[in-house]
A and B are shown apart, each in its own frame.
Chain A
Amino acid sequence: MKLTDTSRREFLKTGILGIGSVMMLPSCMKNYTPWQFFTEEEAICMAAICEQIIPTDDHGPGATYAGVIFYIDKQLDEVFTWDRDKYRRGIPAIQRCAVKLHGSKFEALEFSTQTDMLESMESGKLPAEAWNCDINQGNLFSTMVQHTMQGFYGSPRHGGNKNYISYRLMNLDYPYIVGQNRYRHLKAQ
């Protein structure tokens, strides 16, 4: 599967927005959102960051397909309470830097421009005046990398790794079969 930068971006946007809008159809659920922690804007930006961390490539789908954003959203709500503030204030800071440096929001940037931006963020080099908050850039990015890896390589029961996609990529059997014994029977001494 090969995607151009533009189509990947479109795919990502429509994917995320699509889920949001379909879920909002029933009129009795006007205020329904698929997100437990994120706002719609935060989720779209974060999903683009996840796709950077584990991109779709010649080997197969990446973080967007695997639903990593749903893993992070769910765990920020249910478990990672201590990381909430970092995300809440850090994502707007990333957006401010994207607008300042490239004139548009992070998710709308070219894939390679996004990569460059995250490399700067990893080494704490996004412009301080645009970043303009006391969240450590490198530390927030490390947290985002870890959470993305967990959502992509962890069990699907936590919201990510849809259809065991990472297990398929790594050629591990899935769902995991318990009880097989492929080995010769050992005899008692």
Chain B
Amino acid sequence: MKKKQYNAVVIGAGASGGIIAKELSVAGISVALMERGDWPIYDKHINDELISQRTSVLASVSGPEWEKNPRVYVHPDGRRETVLPNDGRYSPLAACVGSGTVTYGAMAWRYLREDFRLKSTYGPVEGSTLDDWPVSYDELEPCYEKAEWEIGVSGEAGANPFEAPRKKGYPMPPFEPGRDGEVFTAAAKRLGLHPFPIPMLRNSIPYSGRPGCIRNRTCVGFQCPVDAKNGSQNTVIPVALTTGNCDLYTNSKVAEILTQSSGSVKGIRYFDENDREQIIESDIVVVTASATESARLLLNSTSNLFPNGLANNNDWVGRNLQGHAYTGAFGLFEEDLKEFAGPGATIGLSDFNHHNPGIIGGGVLCNEFNRLPYAFSQTRPPGEPRWGKSHKEFQIKYLKRMVGLHGPIQEMPVFDSRVTIDPELRDHWGIPVVALSGNRHPLDHEHCKFLSARAEEIVKEAGAFRTWQTVGGRGGPSGHQHQCGTIRMGNDPKTSVVNKFGQAHEVDNLFVSDGSVFVSGGGFNPVLTIMAVAYHTSGYIVKNWNGSKFKS
């Protein structure tokens, strides 16, 4: 029998929500873990590209359900268009227990020291709210280590000479490079660069009671058939449930955070699996629902003290929406380089993350995840036909011979690139939905040009007989799977929403911990940093808990 009162409500059972639920419940703090989706079930989608989370042509295997969850995309000219989760402009994230960690590519990067100190390193940037993080790499280092060992990362410590100091190695050895990884590694070394095996939240050997990876072709975008991919759904959430202190509410849509007249939060209002409205009371609320949905929840939670949304009296909630423009280069080769052994991405190089001439930040470059047949049919060099005899020939000839290096660029945060609440549109439950608006910073595209040019040099050196660049970073707003920045952490309550522990400046029993609190997105896939921040936040909550509330 589930209760109606808990010490903590954690909203969103993804990368960070699972960790926080586990850390709190192990410490004896009772937790209601809310998830809008259901448990992921492998048999529902198996190895079907057209419904994979990466392609989403016919459905999204991990949700959200398309028709029930619309959003609004605001064009630069102000035109408002309703978009569903099968549209890239929606910035969809999986809706299931574990969320994106069920189907992700699982790269496990620690951000570099500079990533937390961008303004100090490069100075202020015009048209951008670029700033330093209130927390440093060295403060987060133990949290990174905990994420690597509790969730499980395969990698080679010390292989990346640009990585900040670490106290402990990885729990599992790295994955083998594959044929394209070998070719790119050799080429990069000839150019004086420093390639290394990508750290992965995936078992290279049996670990933590689950088997090693079977190199499944359908890996990124899919749930693992042998459970060798490590997410919150098969690591920390089962631990949380085992304590007896944590109840998981699946198919439960949180509509609003409830506040007392004093301004502190007292619980949530949500819709259960039968769409019935319910209330849960709690001593604290931790929002871990992603940069778009966390911001939506705060903005939808209005009261006398917070007419513009919870903890939003300075109008910073929902702003600075960032993500990652992907950029790089492809090449065609005379031999088969893609083995289609999962996951596909094997080697990376961090030479261009920082201290590049004339640009701010940069990005990591990696070889690609397996590009499955339909996705490959949509990828062609400039000028190649999109259909007909030669299109088919290209598909057959180059499926295993077209490889490339790509990476996420460090984006410049923009104040007006943002999540707002649409004044009219409601979702299936009658909850006002997210509207996405704004533009990327013009520098993003310039930075992408730089990184793509470096990628093309390596692809050429690797022996491609034809190369071309794919340059990202135009248009807007950003967001997508690496969405972040909308509920910024900072020391100054005027220019941030939460402090460095994720605690709201204006509401001391409200916490936010996910990509939203990021000051900047880094030049890496963000999930390990989301996990580290979750350990950092939950450590603070546990340390300052006195049995019913915070020590005063």
**What residues make up the interface of A, taking CB atoms closer than 8 Å to B?**
52-55, 57, 59, 62, 75, 79, 115, 118, 122, 142, 145-146, 148-150, 152-155, 157-158, 166-167, 169-172, 176, 178-189
Contact = CB atoms under 8 A, between A and B. Distances in A.
A88 to B, nearest CB: 20
A187 B225 contact: no
A149 to B, nearest CB: 4
7 closest A-B pairs by CB: A153-B373, A149-B377, A154-B50, A53-B387, A153-B374, A155-B48, A178-B225
Contacts of B391: 53-54
Interface of B: 46-50, 57-59, 169-170, 172-173, 176, 204-205, 212, 214-218, 225-226, 340-341, 373-374, 376-378, 386-389, 391-393, 395-396, 399-400
A122 B388 CA distance: 12
B176 to A, nearest CB: 6
A142 to B, nearest CB: 8
B372 to A, nearest CB: 8
Residue of A142, A145, A176, A189 ringed by the most chain B CB atoms within 10 A: A189
Given A59-B396, A155-B49, A186 B204 contact: yes
29 contacts: A53-B387, A54-B387, A55-B388, A59-B396, A118-B387, A122-B386, A142-B386, A145-B386, A149-B374, A149-B378, A150-B57, A150-B374, A153-B376, A153-B395, A170-B396, A171-B400, A172-B340, A172-B399, A178-B46, A179-B214, A179-B225, A182-B341, A183-B341, A186-B176, A186-B204, A186-B212, A187-B173, A188-B172, A189-B169
A167 B373 contact: yes
Contacts of A170: 373, 395-396, 399
B215 to A, nearest CB: 6
Contacts, number: 107
A153 B50 CA distance: 9
A5 to B, nearest CB: 13
A178 B47 contact: yes
Report which residue of B59, B172, B176, B392 has the largest number of chain A beta carbons within 10 angstroms of its beta carbon: B392
A58 B225 CA distance: 37
B392 to A, nearest CB: 6
Which one of B57, B204, B373 has the highest number of Cβ atoms from chain A below 10 Å of its Cβ? B373
B148 to A, nearest CB: 13
A167 to B, nearest CB: 7
Contacts of B176: 183-184, 186
Contacts of A181: 214-215
Given A183-B176, A183-B341, A79 B58 contact: yes
Contact of B389 (A57, A145, A169): A57
A53 B399 CA distance: 18
B374 A54 contact: no
A20 to B, nearest CB: 25
A187 B215 CA distance: 16
Nearest to B67: A81
A62 B387 CA distance: 12
Contacts of A167: 373
A157 B50 CA distance: 10
A178 B388 contact: no
